Amino acid sequence: MKLTKDGLGKSINGWLLRQIELLKWKTEPFTEGSDGMRGVMIQGTASDVGKSLICTAFCRILSDQGIQVAPFKSQNMSNNSYVTILGEEIGRAQGVQAEAARTVATVDMNPILLKPESDMKSQIVLFGKKLETMGGMEYRANFYEQGLAAIDQALVNLSKNYTHLVIEGAGSPAEVNLNDREIVNMAVAERADVPVILVADIERGGVFASIVGTLALMPHPERVKGLLINKFRGDIRLFEDGIAFLEAYTKLPVLGVIPYMGNHEIEQEDSLGVREISRDNRNRPIDMAVLKHPYLSNFTDLEPFLNEPDVSVRWVEFVKDIGKPDILVFPGTKSTIADLRYWKEQKIEDTLLSIENKTRIIGLCGGFQMLGDSLSDPDGFDGTKAEFEKGLGLISGMVTHFTKEKFVKRRSGTAKMNEQTFNVDGYEIHTGRSKYGGKALVSFEDGTEGVQTERLIGTHIHGIFGSADSRQAFLAPIRQEKNLSQPMVQECSDRYSRFAGHVKAHIDWAQVERIMEGKG
């Protein structure tokens, strides 16, 4: 993040002022301090059409123009969270977008975060802190007014420090069964009084029906000022008649057709996005199998391995599909005991015994906790009540107990793996408190964290594989065993600018600017 020391201080001071303002919540629509506040809202015809990445690109483009821009998403549903410098949780997409905007991520950028704990209940994180767990009907009935108040307050706070907002919608705005109490799409565009650009994913097929149908069913379609076609593959000339049809039928301009870009290196908030990228790296010599928990979280810990040209990353939903990989990953989870039981019901212990001398194991956060001797959560703070749950026993003596208070903290230290030392810059976010011994993985000024053996590493720290040095240290013995040379990994030093340039080159940015200024 390109931020001066003075800028960081200003952001922290702004946060302190916001804490005072939070004591005076407002229930009227966003108006205070909004003079000169401009922006745009990116809505989509469905989930995973690319809204988050387009918002990221817009944030960087506006930042390049010297504009004080901030991302905003009123309510996010994701177990892939971002920890701010003050130890608060927001949706990871808004943290990434803040980095693209060259500003400090704050809870005002995503005041409401829902973290699913089961099919029926989600943990509510309000302004970065855990509030309570609610079922869907209870949330819809009892949280609506409180949610609107939080959204209005966040918009007021952002208007004091920024001139432009890039607002991200959620899912589809045409969910007619939810629109009377929705707080994520057109209701937000109305409260912030910004125009809307509608994005459709052409790769899925049915792009014409998805656009026309969405416009027909969404409230206030007159606020939509343009269309974007995303993830196009092939010769753009083949779609010229499609553009002409859409513009004639909808009376809206097609602002651009953005070609698919699979190697943008920007973290995906939705695991669907990571799974799509991983399809392109099959048949590589190092086989990494990643367990796809039912309540998977923080899957972006594994995204950096997609940059390794000799590593194949594949998702595994059933034990029978694990096979005999070189690396088996237990990633993070929002409901550790529930997901542990899912794998134990399929007798994963037998598979672990059969591969114990051939496969290296990685345990991350909740996945790390599964590898211990036992877990206990008598009050169900992590989603599933259990007085005692037997772990997988790969880390002898490790016990985990879940508490009401969540541990959230950014972490910086050093780690040594296979005689190679590297820096670690990540964060911890978990309710389980674990006790274990053995050789530590990461060292801090005030202690250590994690554990490592010859064929296993475990840690609560998310982002530990973010650097090429860390991945090289971990992969070195595997490459040696397979007689593979160390490949040259060219990591994009400014992935945000690269992707923003790609987007800007394929859209009518001048028209987007006119739309944001209310002239489109």
User: Phi/psi at 413 (nearest 5 deg)?
Assistant: -170, -160
pLDDT score of 492: 52
- The 3-state DSSP class for residue 74 equals coil
Stated as kind and residue range, the H or E segment containing 434 is strand 420-435
5-264+498-516: which CATH topology?
Answer: Rossmann fold (3.40.50)
* Burial class, 403, CB count within 10 angstroms (exposed 0-12 / middle 13-18 / buried 19+): middle
Token pair of 4 as six digits: 């001066």
Q: Is the dihedral of CA 8, 13, 16, 22 positive or negative?
A: negative
* Cα three-residue angle 498-284-267, rounded to 5 degrees: 30
Q: What is the pLDDT of residue 23?
A: 35
Cα–chain center distance at 105? 14
Would you say the CATH fold of 271-481 matches that of 5-264+498-516?
A: yes
pLDDT for res 172: 94
pLDDT tens digit at each of 520 positions of the chain: 334 434 444 444 444 444 434 433 333 444 443 445 799 999 999 988 999 999 999 999 999 999 999 999 999 988 888 888 888 999 989 999 999 999 989 999 999 999 887 778 888 999 999 888 888 888 888 889 999 999 999 999 999 999 999 999 999 999 998 888 899 999 999 999 999 999 999 988 899 999 999 999 999 999 999 999 999 998 888 899 999 999 999 999 999 999 988 766 676 655 444 455 455 567 799 999 999 999 988 878 888 898 888 999 999 999 999 999 999 999 999 899 999 999 999 999 999 999 988 999 999 999 999 999 999 999 998 888 999 999 999 999 999 999 988 888 888 999 999 889 999 988 898 999 999 999 999 999 889 999 999 999 999 999 999 889 999 999 999 999 999 998 876 555 588 999 999 999 999 999 999 999 887 6
pLDDT of residue 270: 54
Is 186 in a helix, a strand, or coil?
Answer: helix
- What is the rounded CA–CA span in Å between residue 251 and residue 205? 22
Both tokens of 435, joined, read 């006790």
pLDDT recorded at residue 494: 80
Q: Is 275 helix (H, G, I), strand (E, B) or coil?
A: helix
Residue identified by tokens 């096979």 is 323
Sign of CA dihedral 166, 170, 175, 179: negative
CA R_g for the chain? 23
In what order do the strands lie in the sheet containing 360-364?
Answer: 311-316, 286-291, 327-330, 360-364, 456-459, 451-452
Is the Cβ–Cβ distance between 39 and 167 less than 8 Å? yes
Q: d(Cα 195, Cα 503) in Å, to the nearest integer?
A: 19
- C-alpha dihedral, 447 to 453 to 457 to 461, nearest 10°: 0
Which parts of 11-151 are beta strand (E)?
38-44, 69-72, 75-77, 81-83, 89-91, 112-116, 121-126, 129-135
Using DSSP's 3-state secondary structure scheme, residue 98 falls into: helix
φ/ψ bin of 445: left (φ > 0), alpha (ψ from -120 to 50), beta (otherwise): alpha
Say if residues 224 and 198 touch (Cβ distance below 8 Å): yes
Contacts of 260 (CB under 8 A, 6+ apart): 203, 231, 232, 233
Residue 339 Ramachandran class (φ > 0 left, ψ -120 to 50 alpha, else beta):
alpha
Ordered by start, the domain boundaries in the chain are: 5-264+498-516, 271-481
b (16+ CB within 10 A) / e for 378-400: eeebbbbebeebebbebbeebbb
Which of the residues are catalytic? 365, 462
> What is the CATH topology of the domain spanning 271-481?
Rossmann fold (3.40.50)
Q: How far is CA 48 from the centre of its chain?
A: 12
Signed CA dihedral, 254, 255, 260, 265: sign only: negative
Contact 122, 334 (CB under 8 A): no
